[in-house]
């Protein structure tokens, strides 16, 4: 079944006000539950099957019978995607960012790819793209220095490199949020519940 998939279906779900009001472990557990529900919906739409969601000792999602998966959850939105190839998916809410964090996420050469425009929008575009690639590579933030933006194709597509491997990334903007997914050779059909 996985060889016939040509489209990725990342599913994004807004978090209800009631769930946003939760605190601590209860909130984390609820956001995780909602993200897993989005992943199940992605599986159904794609015709893929995940009977379990195993992780390695570092918490990196492991594929099941050739099906890869990625989740993201923030206080206001959660999401998930299933794919027949390594995949990374990230969500962020746009908010003010300080210059030091902008410098940490992208170097001068990367900022030049967007004409040096160091805006929150470009920061979160870079951040989500790199986070998606790090997830697809099975790396944490320690891998950030090895992840570089090498080309900005247009307002919703860019190409990154992790070491020598190239990763196309697609973005989706909605309300004051941005989502990113490693798209490989797939078409991306964004689904917002």
* Structure confidence by residue, pLDDT tens digits, 31-89: 999 999 999 999 999 999 999 999 999 899 999 999 999 999 999 999 999 999 999 99
pLDDT of res. 3: 58
pTM, whole model, 2 decimals?
A: 0.94
pLDDT of res. 156: 96
Is residue 112 over pLDDT 90?
yes
Q: Whats the size of the chain, residue-wise?
A: 193
pLDDT of res. 166: 97
pLDDT of res. 1: 46
């Amino acid at each position: 079944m996985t060889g016939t998939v040509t489209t990725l279906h990342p599913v994004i779900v807004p978090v209800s006000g009631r769930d946003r009001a939760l605190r601590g472990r209860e909130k984390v557990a609820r956001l995780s539950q909602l993200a897993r529900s989005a992943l199940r919906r992605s599986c159904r739409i794609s015709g893929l099957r995940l009977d379990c969601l195993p992780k390695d000792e570092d918490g990196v999602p492991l594929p099941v019978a050739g099906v890869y998966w990625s989740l993201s959850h923030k206080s206001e939105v959660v999401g998930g995607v299933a794919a027949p190839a390594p995949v990374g998916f990230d969500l962020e809410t746009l908010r003010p960012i300080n210059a030091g964090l902008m410098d940490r996420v992208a170097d001068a050469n990367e900022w030049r790819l967007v004409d040096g425009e160091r805006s929150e929008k470009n920061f979160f575009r870079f951040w989500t793209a790199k986070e998606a690639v790090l997830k697809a590579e099975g790396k944490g933030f320690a891998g950030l220095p090895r992840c570089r933006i090498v080309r900005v194709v247009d307002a919703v597509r860019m190409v990154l490199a992790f070491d020598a491997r190239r990763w196309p990334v697609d973005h989706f903007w909605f309300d004051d949020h941005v989502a990113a997914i490693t798209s490989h050779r797939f078409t991306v059909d964004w689904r917002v519940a």
